[in-house]
Chains A and B, each alone.
Chain A
Amino acid sequence: MSDGHLGLLEVRELTVHHGQLCALSGVSLSVSPGEVYAMIGANGAGKSTLLRAIAGLDRPTSGSIALDGADITQLRPERRVKAGVVLVPEGRRLFPSLTVAENLQVGSAYARPGPWSIERVYELFGWMAERRSQRAEQLSGGEQQAVAIGRALVANPRVLLLDELSLGLAPVVVRRIYGLLPDLLASGLTVLVVEQDVSQVLRVATHIHCLLEGRTTLQGPPGDLTAEGIEDAYFGLGGSRGQASGISEVRP
């Protein structure tokens, strides 16, 4: 590649179509180890499509995805898990008829070696061990989200993809879940998070990347971005306001 600095996860010029609809159009990003890289944007901006494409569930029309220098664009989703890319999908997607423990066991069935185990997930979420025999469908939304994160962690990912953690959850629950991020980073994880709730993500992110209608409209470290600039990029307003120094702004 042309630039000497390569991130752990490199996405180049990724374009994804859903039938006729172009959901993602030439999006590039580079996530360095230990980062909390946040994708923001309104509904239908292509954030979830991006994560699904990185996880292998949506096939890109063009572009490439590389993990630690190795191209994974053609790998099936299950092979990407073994390579170290694990997605916590939108809407949790637990196995409803399986118990909490069984959900975690399925997550660890093809795990890479690493620091996370089912026991450690039980330590992270104090309530979980007692309720391990309950079916996932009987849990509350926040509890399900915790199990979904646990199921991804036990696979020992290198890059954890988190899709709309806050969806349908009470703000206090969302804060608690985002409060876990330092623990996850301390275990050596890199996180790529998609979120509609910008205020939440600004507190934790090391890099902000804004999508609008499948295109990049703004990106940079949160310290360099102004609230107005983010607002403009998020809603596609004006475009002349938020050009502070150090921010790369790309207009569609």
Chain B
Amino acid sequence: MSWVNAVIQGVLLGGLYALFACGLSLMFGVMKVINLAHGDLAVVAAYLALGVITVTHVPAVWSFVLVVPLFAVLGYVLQRTLIQASLDRSVLTTLLVTFGLSVVIENGLLQFFSANSHSLGIGSLVSDSFSIGSQITIAYLQLVIFAVAVVVLLGLQYFLSSSKQGRLIRAVADDREAAQLAGADYRHVFGIAAAIAFGTVALAGLAFGMYSSFNPTIGTDQLLLFAFEAVVIGGLGSLWGTLAGGMLLGVVQQIGAQISSADQILAGQLVFLLVLVVMPRGITGGRRSMA
């Protein structure tokens, strides 16, 4: 039964990974930008929430009302300025620039918040849980995070496939020059895609901050890595693949932890490498389109 529990915990954790990964996937799918600062941005969102909670005394779970829109705006502005400027030079430049951004963010956070760990206090909600049988215990928080992840990914999928703006995003992802010939300002569309990606990464950062403790370096050390692994395992550019990839990564990590707690990360890495070798396009075959 403890194996069943490991799988269930893994699936729930996978939801969080998918939430981290969908922004990364979106930015790569639409702008061909690999955002190496993605994990750090999630951590910034968590620290920002910490500040919001301290100043306004709102319950931690409500901090997203302020943080997520703020990050969306930040995403649009950053895309229209720094990222677009590096895109205009070359795709390689975007790698260097986002890597630089990651270093700047990490050191900035160390300067302001020290290397100590923090967490977003949500009171008893963090440990409240219910049991199925004697072996399986499910925390409400994890269930809520998983539900949020599924709703966000479903919503994003629906937005991309059915809305006018989503259609433009897919058109620009397919062929930005042809989109210009249809009258679309692809820079603005890029900005909107970045706003969505930043909104989701903020949400993921907040969820992570409630689920576990965080420090300034965890963004690159863990979050970016897990997001990458979820995207690659699931197949680039497919949101469903990202969800599946996140869940597979979560399950493998939990099973690894079941064997020995030191094997948790290693197990994930091994499956990631295995997928790269055996199914380089990911377990869903990596469709070319975004939706």
Q: How far is the CB of B139 from chain A (nearest CB, A)?
A: 39
Q: How far is the CA of A111 from the CA of B184 in the complex (A)?
A: 10
Is A86 a contact of B168 with CB atoms below 8 Å? no
Name the residue of chain A whose CB is nearest to the CB of B291: A97
B281 within 8 A of A: no
A93 within 8 A of B: yes
Q: In the complex where A76-B185, A78-B184, A82-B183 touch, is A93 in contact with B167 (Cβ < 8 A)?
A: no
Chain A positions within 8 Å of B168 at CB level: 106, 109
B262 within 8 A of A: no
A214 within 8 A of B: no
Q: How far is the CA of A75 from the CA of B259 in the complex (A)?
A: 63
Chain A positions within 8 Å of B212 at CB level: none
Q: In the complex where A95-B175, A98-B167, A106-B167 touch, is A77 in contact with B181 (Cβ < 8 A)?
A: yes
Indicate the member of A87, A98, A155 with the most B CB atoms within 10 Å: A98
Number of A residues with CB within 8 Å of any CB on chain B: 28
Digit string of A79-112 for contact with B (CB within 8 Å is 1, else 0)? 0011000110100011111100011011101110
Chain A positions within 8 Å of B178 at CB level: 89, 93-95
Q: How far is the CA of A106 from the CA of B182 in the complex (A)?
A: 7
Chain B positions within 8 Å of A111 at CB level: 183
Is A76 a contact of B183 with CB atoms below 8 Å? no
B33 within 8 A of A: no
A57 within 8 A of B: yes
Select B185's contact among A78, A96, A97, beta carbons within 8 Å: A78
Which of A108-167 touch B at CB < 8 Å? 109-111, 151-152, 155
Which of B154-204 touch A at CB < 8 Å? 164, 167-168, 170-171, 174-175, 177-186
Indicate the member of B164, B178, B182, B290 with the most A CB atoms within 10 Å: B182
Q: How far is the CB of B77 from chain A (nearest CB, A)?
A: 20
Chain B positions within 8 Å of A97 at CB level: 170, 174, 287-290
Q: For chain B, which range describes its interface: under 10, 10 to 19, 20 to 34, or 35 or more residues?
A: 20 to 34
Is B167 a contact of A77 with CB atoms below 8 Å? no
Is A155 a contact of B177 with CB atoms below 8 Å? no
Is A81 a contact of B182 with CB atoms below 8 Å? yes
Is A110 a contact of B181 with CB atoms below 8 Å? no
Chain B positions within 8 Å of A87 at CB level: 181
Chain A positions within 8 Å of B174 at CB level: 95-98
A40 within 8 A of B: no
A45 within 8 A of B: no
Is B170 a contact of A77 with CB atoms below 8 Å? no
A193 within 8 A of B: no
Indicate the member of A89, A94, A97, A105 with the most B CB atoms within 10 Å: A97
Name the residue of chain B whose CB is nearest to the CB of A82: B183
Is A105 a contact of B180 with CB atoms below 8 Å? no
Q: How far is the CB of B191 from chain A (nearest CB, A)?
A: 14
Q: How far is the CA of A105 from the CA of B182 in the complex (A)?
A: 10
A residues touching B (Cβ–Cβ < 8 Å)?
55-57, 76-78, 81-82, 86-87, 89, 93-98, 102-103, 105-107, 109-111, 151-152, 155
B residues touching A (Cβ–Cβ < 8 Å)?
164, 167-168, 170-171, 174-175, 177-186, 287-290
Closest 3 CB pairs of A and B: A110-B183, A97-B289, A81-B183
Q: A97-B170, A97-B174 are in contact. List 5 more A-B contacts (CB 8 A).
A: A57-B177, A98-B174, A102-B170, A106-B167, A106-B171
